[in-house]
């Protein structure tokens, strides 16, 4: 069965970096894209970006350009989200979600989410 | 950028039908997908490409899309349907995925 298993919760100080992993199984990794979605406490879903395993040319939502980096390691079927220069406002649950291969659309399987807390 | 508008909340009594709308300019020209999210859980895909259901999703959940409004309909509402619901599209203009603000469905 399709599974996306994310790394555990993180507590970081402002200005630090965090790297969240999303290990997949149960499907051919290179046949799908990967979306990343943020959910701040008590808020809705916010799309961060999408990466295609074949071109590795990520697309980013405007709000996440610059400090967020999406990457892949196809050898271990794992996707990564790195956020640099963390701010308190980055405190949120971050989800990876299997997406279309060609465009970011209709993510069907989701990871369990990773809580990133940023506090001084 | 493309904007999807949902009502913040909808209330319904068990056994009745709940309707959740998602508004967007010419949304009928796009493919709309719907997600259910319960507290502390990841979202679950409920409806894709306007009206298709993934395997395992009850027939009580249905979707439609026309003009400037897409609609998620939940028939014979159950207590377990109490959750947040999000619509989503891919906006070709920006090449971005867009979520609606979400609707909290309360089963009274």
**Torsions phi, psi for B68 (to 5 deg):** -110, 10
Mean pLDDT value of segment A37-43:
97
pLDDT at A54 over 90: no
Which segments of chain B have a pLDDT < 50? none
Of A24, A40, A18, A42, nearest to A107 by C-alpha is A24
State percent of chain A over pLDDT 90: 89
Q: Is the dihedral of CA B12, B80, B65, A38 positive or negative?
A: positive
Mean pLDDT value of segment A101-119:
92
Q: What's the pLDDT score for residue A56? A: 63
Concatenated DSSP letters of B38-88: -TTS--EEEEBTTTB--TT--TTEEEEEETTEEEEEE-S--GGG-EEEEEE
- Find residues 22-81 of chain B whose CB sits inside 8 Å of chain A: 31, 33, 35, 37, 42-45, 48-49, 54
- B90 reaches A (C-beta below 8 A): yes
Instruction: Give the E-state strand segments of A13-113 in sequence order.
Output: 18-25, 33-39, 46-51, 59-60, 68-73, 78-83, 92-99
Give per-residue pLDDT as tens, B71-94: 999 999 999 999 999 999 999 988
Nearest to A59 among B45, B84, B96 (CB): B96
A17 CA: distance to closest CA in chain B (Å): 24
**b/e burial code for range A87-114 (CB count within 10 A of at least 16 → b):** eeebbbbbbbbbbbeebbbbbbbbbbbb
Q: Which of chain A's residues have a Cβ under 8 Å away from the Cβ of B51? A: none
**pLDDT confidence bin for A103, thresholds 50/70/90:** confident
């Amino acid at each position: 069965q399709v599974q996306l298993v994310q790394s555990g919760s993180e507590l970081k100080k402002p200005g630090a970096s965090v790297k969240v992993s999303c290990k997949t199984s149960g499907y051919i990794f290179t046949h799908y894209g990967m979306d990343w979605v943020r959910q701040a406490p008590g808020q809705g879903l916010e799309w961060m970006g999408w990466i295609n395993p074949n071109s590795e040319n990520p697309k980013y939502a405007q709000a996440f350009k610059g400090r967020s980096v999406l990457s892949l390691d196809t050898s271990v079927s794992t996707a990564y989200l790195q956020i640099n220069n963390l701010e308190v406002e980055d405190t949120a649950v971050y989800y990876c979600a299997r997406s279309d291969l060609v465009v970011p659309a209709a993510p069907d399987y989701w990871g369990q989410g990773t809580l990133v807390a940023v506090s001084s | 950028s493309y904007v999807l508008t949902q009502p913040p909340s909808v209330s319904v009594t068990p056994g009745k039908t709940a309707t959740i709308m998602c508004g967007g300019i010419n949304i009928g020209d796009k493919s709309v997908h719907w997600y259910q999210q319960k507290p502390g859980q990841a979202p679950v895909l409920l409806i894709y490409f306007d009206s298709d259901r993934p395997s395992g999703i009850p027939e009580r959940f249905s979707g439609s899309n026309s003009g400037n409004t897409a609609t998620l309909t939940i028939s014979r509402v159950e207590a377990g349907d109490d959750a947040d619901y999000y619509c989503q599209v891919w906006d070709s203009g920006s090449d971005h995925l867009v979520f609606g603000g979400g609707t909290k469905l309360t089963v009274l």
